[in-house]
Structure 1
Amino acid sequence: MAKCCQPKVSNSIWPGIVISIILISITVVIFSSLLFFFSKIRWEEFIYDGYLFYVIKFTFIQASISTGLAIIPAIFLAKALFRRHFLGRKLLLHLCSITLVLPVLVTILGLLTVYGRMGWIFKLCNLLGINYNFTPYGLKGIVLAHIFFNFPLASKILLFSLENISVEQRQLAAQLGMNQWHIFCIIEWPYLRRQILPICTLIFMLCFTSFATVLILGGGPNVTTIALAIYQSLSYDFDLNKAAVLALIQLFFCLSVALLNQNLNIIISVGNSHNLKWKHLNDSNLLKLWDTLIISITIIFLIPPLLAIIIDSLNFRLLQVLHNIKLLQAFTNSILISINSGILCVICTVMLLWSIRELRLRHSIFFCRILEVSGLLIFSISDLVLATGLFLLLHNFINLSYLTYSLLILTNALMAIPYAFKILENPMYDLAERYNLLCISLNIKGINRFNLIELKSLKKTIGQAFSFACMLSIGDFGVISLFGNENFLTLPYYLYQQLSSYRNNDAAVTVLIILLLCFSLFILIKYLSGKKYD
């Protein structure tokens, strides 16, 4: 009887196998295209190239500093947000959710307006007679931008870890008379510790492969990363051999970090509790003051750059830019690419997770790990390395301008899969544990099960993953920087052209359009999915 109730494995895991094969094949093809030029290299040019080693060293330094300065204050903010419930808290959490996917060019322009040599802080210090020496260019500016992108993300993930601690544990700690330090060390730290290392590897990889940030705020000989060196080799020198070597170096380090992240990604069991909120018993005025200070500094850090974008865009060029046909073309291309890449990303992620959860339920850990690694494998390839591999593979055979649209959809969808994977992984697994036996007894499987169970139950989560993928695509600049041209523009590429020709007022208007597009997309999908993002 038990055998009759068990579904056929072949019918339940084939969607993930197909996607896994595709992802592995793409990775192998990219790797092979890089190795083709790898064999043509004269190694003495690289072994004795001190500048190459300096670029690698600088890439590690800036990524390490950015990671440390993002994760440490994130711990304090997460604890402050957990202890305090105030008006605007949900709005602040929403802001923390979308800072990572805001277009890099948009965010950097906002940071320059606030922290630049003629920015808001400079003008305020000038009025107060204070000498303002900070420059947003170079290592300081790159680190500042990386903190802005990653600090809110780390804070929200750590906040989820604190919320996973059952109220019963905190009640027991209160009964035992534990102070805040003991509560942190004995109860909270074990939960935070399991997330801090995976978050550090994630942020480190994002900073290590950062391209647009370094391109705008760095770019000089002393402020060059591996990603920027790849772009320079292709766009300026057209040195395919050097680009291949640099791409392989970055691929090696990123793959190592991705595998480390996979090993450190420990699932935390959620505490069972019937209480929704925990009211702190040992609250003091000093603790309230400290939390207020942390939250206020965060708001002051996050809000002004976004506010600066809106103010700068309201200039005399507003109407002229809005009537520009190139802006309309770039807007249309960005919308179509983001929607299609978002759909493709969600379909591939759901198919992959469908098979992974079936393997988990059957305790096939080995094969489950293989599919999981294939899902995160693309994470080891930055968007620039992926675009470089496709460029090296196809440029001798076809005119890439004819495939720009398809290549952008494919690459953006692939780069968003790891993020969608993390968003949908636990909800899909929890749903399977809850309804799997019922579906087996009623013989509900395949597409019928997806329509009746998964689609209805995960509609909100799928909408979140879709919006995340779409916003990542809208803000993409790494891929379009290689495949874009005068005849095919997206909003970030059009913005870069405006900045390159010093049309700053026009660029400010374009920045506002991108920002409004991201927020509108976020709110629209939130409304359609019925999701209240907390």
Structure 2
Amino acid sequence: MTITAGALGLGGILLFVGLAIAALLLQSGDFSNGVLFDAYIWRVTRFTLLQASLSTLLSVVLAIPVARALARRTAFPGRVWVLRIMALPLGLPVLVGALGLIEIWGRQGVLNTALGGLGLQQPVSIYGLFGILLAHVFFNMPLVARLFLAGLERIPSEYWRTAANLGMPPGALFRFVEWPVLRGLLPGAAGLVFMLCATSFTLVLTLGGGPAASTIEVAIYQALRFDFDPPRAIALSALQIVMTGVLLFALARLATEPAQSATGGRASRRYDTGTGLSCVADFGWILFSLLFVGAPLMAVLSSGLRADLVKLAGDPTVHRALITSIVIAVLSAFVCVSIAAAMIRAAGTVVARRRAPTLARAFAGTVTASTSLVLLVPPVVLGAGWFLLLRPFGDVARFAPAIVVAINALMALPFVHRILAPAMATHAARTDRLTASLGIRGFDRLRWIDLPPLRKPLLMAFSFAMALSLGDLGAVALFGSQDMVTLPWLLYSRMGSYRTADAAGLALFLGLICLIFTMLGTAGDRRLPEGRNA
């Protein structure tokens, strides 16, 4: 039953993506000779690789000390709010985040205003490569830090006791206790960030500053939206898939499975908190992350409060957009978490068999890869393919809700998989043999064995998927209509009509709703003292 559910989830993903690509291929005819060999495409490809590589490197390098600092400092006041604020960029609509960054780093932003008071005229420009890197680190560094923090928090308490008894210095603790965990998470996190940056569209369009800072995703959008040139769009999509697929294969070769050890299941307590320079360094990294992420959010709050919030709150259009956004977010999150959990469990069941056939192991590998490969197909390609596929059946708007839910669920799948997979693997290693020997299975296992320890990662995954769906603009931009308006689409429309005050107020509403979702996802982040049940 477990393997069947995973196979159905995998089949649904492949069918949805495959039909979209097939629809584009049928419309494309013969590919133009030399479509990938002009100077513009090569320049766009080089810039895509450059900005994605630098963004990934900066995000990962900064996330490691931030995650270690948060893992060591578990009792300072406001820690749970630091985690919630750091989770906000993941679900924050890209346009809202870009507006907040411009308020801080832009030409008339806080930083340039402060430096201008020192006699410097516009010393910082947010447009171009610098702005793209800044925005990508703003959105992705907190995500990587949360993934690393979750891995560090799963280290059994027995490891820390043994390290304390042996008197391990900080360098040895990092090398023998923390780094093996981080090393196992690093390829997946880096690959995820690279794909997000390589397929970035709205940020590049907003902060790129011109054709010199265009990416393959922008070229695909132009080929479909303005030129309606499916052969060129398909060729560019194939180039993007090959480029990111090679990186994923290389990272997969470097990935290592973290060792699972028997544990008493007690709440983890670290003994390396220390004082002095280590404490100052930890709180310095926490303060840096809080300011770097929180300052643009505060800018959004400040500009939003200057809007006529009472008028917006009473606007029936805003009410409809809010209800539509929440319904789509809940449905897409439920679909995403259900498919991810079923596929992870199915892959784990197959791999756990001692004499699993080659076909079964290939199935497990495909299940794991499909959660990342879905990012290789840009949302604009999926949306365009399904638009062409459904057009012969009449008004495409009738199918819009289902298509938007499906695309949002697929786009959240890589995040959800990276949250659930390590937690479910650890849980399975600790409980599978015991539950099998006791004959506990089915609903009884789900209720009494699986749900209690997996409640926290499931809530985190569900809230992240909801926040991602709430902030989505790509799918709605293709399928949205007067009958289906979401908050991001309404925000984009108000910005396009130069109603900046209304746009700022809607951005504030979106930020507050995302904060509620992240509070749901971090509801279990408060630590219990060691010796009590977790």
Q: Same fold by TM-score, threshold 0.5 exceeded? A: yes
Compare 291-300 and 374-383 and name the one that shifted more: 374-383
Work out whether residues 180 and 258 of structure 2, in 8 Å CA contact, stay in contact via their aligned partners in 1.
no
The change in CA–CA distance for 1:248 and 1:394 in structure 2 (over 3 A counts) is farther
Q: CA deviation at 1:224?
A: 1.2
TM-score, normalising length: structure 1: 0.87
Q: Does the 8 Å CA contact 1:37/1:244 hold for their aligned counterparts?
A: no
1:484-529 C-alpha deviation (Å, 9 max, x unpaired): 24443211111111222222111100001111111123335666xx
Residues 138-157 of structure 1 deviation map (CA, whole Å, 9 limit, x = unaligned) = 22111111001111222233
Q: State the partner residue of 2:40.
A: 51
Partner of 1:102: 92
With over 3 angstroms needed to count, the CA separation of the structure-2 counterparts of 1:20 and 1:177, relative to structure 1, is: closer
- Aligned match of 1:521 in 517, 524, 527? 517
Name the amino acid aligned to 1:246. L
> How far off is 1:394 after superposition?
3.2
C-alpha distance after superposition, 1:204-229 (max 9, x if no partner):
11111112211221262112111122
Q: Are residues 193 and 356 of structure 1, via their aligned partners in 2, closer, same or farther at CA, if it must alter by over 3 Å? A: closer
1:478-489 map, 5 Å: 478-489=474-485
Map 1:322-337 to 2 at 5 A: 322-337=313-328
Q: 2:34 and 2:122 mapped to 1: Cα distance?
A: 46
After TM superposition, the structure 1 = structure 2 runs for residues 346-357 of structure 1, keeping only pairs within 5 Å, are 346-357=337-348
Deviates more, 1:131-140 or 1:499-508: 131-140
Which of these residues, 411, 415, 438, is aligned with residue 411 of structure 2? 415
Q: Are the equivalent residues in 2 in contact too, given 1:211–1:478 (CA < 8 A)?
A: no
The amino acid that maps onto 1:198 is: G
The alpha-carbon deviation at position 279 of structure 1 amounts to 2.8
Written as runs of structure 1 = structure 2, the 5 A alignment for 1:164-313 is 179-181=169-171, 183-185=173-175, 188-218=178-208, 220-269=210-259, 272=263, 276-280=268-272, 283=274, 285-313=276-304
SS in structure 1 at match of 2:91: coil
Residue 495 of structure 2 is aligned to residue 499 of structure 1: yes
Report sequence identity in percent: 34
Deviation at 1:431, TM superposition (A): 4.2
State the AA in 1 paired with 2:229.
Answer: D
**Are the equivalent residues in 1 in contact too, given 2:192–2:414 (CA < 8 A)?**
no
What residue identity is the alignment partner of 1:245?
A
1:364-513 correspondence to structure 2 within 5 Å = 364=356, 365-436=361-432, 439-440=435-436, 444-447=440-443, 449-451=445-447, 453-455=449-451, 458-513=454-509
Contact 1:139–1:223 (Cα < 8 Å) also in 2: yes
Mapped to 2, the partners of 1:475 and 1:15 lie a distance apart of 29
**Aligned in 2, Cα 1:177/1:444: closer, same or farther, shift over 3 Å?**
closer
Preserved CA contact (<8 Å) 1:205 1:257: no
- Distance (Å, rounded) in 2 between the aligned partners of 1:178 and 1:202: 33
Letter in 1 for 2:57: G
What is the CA–CA distance in structure 1 between the aligned matches of 2:506 and 2:421, rounded to whole Å? 36
1:64 to 43, 48, 53: 53
1:284: Cα distance to partner? 6.0
Whole-Å separation in 2 of the counterparts to 1:198 and 1:525: 21
Q: 1:265 to 1:388 in 2, by over 3 A?
A: farther
Q: Which letter does structure 1 place at the counterpart of 2:246?
A: S
Q: How well do the aligned residues superpose, as a CA RMSD in angstroms?
A: 3.0
Change in CA separation of 1:344 and 1:278 when aligned onto 2, cut-off 3 Å = closer
Q: TM-score, normalised by structure 2?
A: 0.87
Amino acid of the structure 1 residue aligned with 2:130: K
Structure 2 counterpart of 1:230, which letter?
A: I
Moved more, 271-280 or 55-64: 271-280
Q: Deviations over 1:281-313 (max 9, x none)?
A: 8x5633333333322222221111111111111
Indicate conservation of the 8 Å contact 1:309/1:508, yes or no: yes
Question: In the alignment, is the contact (CA less than 8 A) between 1:202 and 1:261 conserved in 2?
Answer: no
Q: Hey, what's the Cα distance between the residues in 1 that align with 2:238 and 2:112?
A: 42
Structure 1 pair 118/398, CA: closer, same or farther in 2 (3 Å)? same
Shift of 1:119: 1.4
User: Residues 80 and 295 of structure 1 are in contact (CA less than 8 Å); yes or no, is this contact kept in structure 2?
Assistant: yes
Assess if the C-alpha contact under 8 Å between 1:341 and 1:470 holds in 2. yes
1:121-153 CA distances to partner (integer Å, 9 max, x unpaired)?
Answer: 222223343443212222211111100111122
Contact 1:94 1:533 in 2 (8 A): no
CA distance in structure 1 between the aligned counterparts of 2:520 and 2:367, rounded to whole angstroms: 32
| Cα offset, 1:422, TM superposition | 2.6
Asked if structure 2 preserves the Cα contact closer than 8 Å seen for 1:115 and 1:136, the reply is yes
Q: Tell me which residue corresponds to 2:531.
A: none
- Tell me what 1:321 maps to: 312
- Higher mean C-alpha deviation, range 332-341 or range 263-272: 263-272
Contact preservation (8 Å) 1:198, 1:264: no
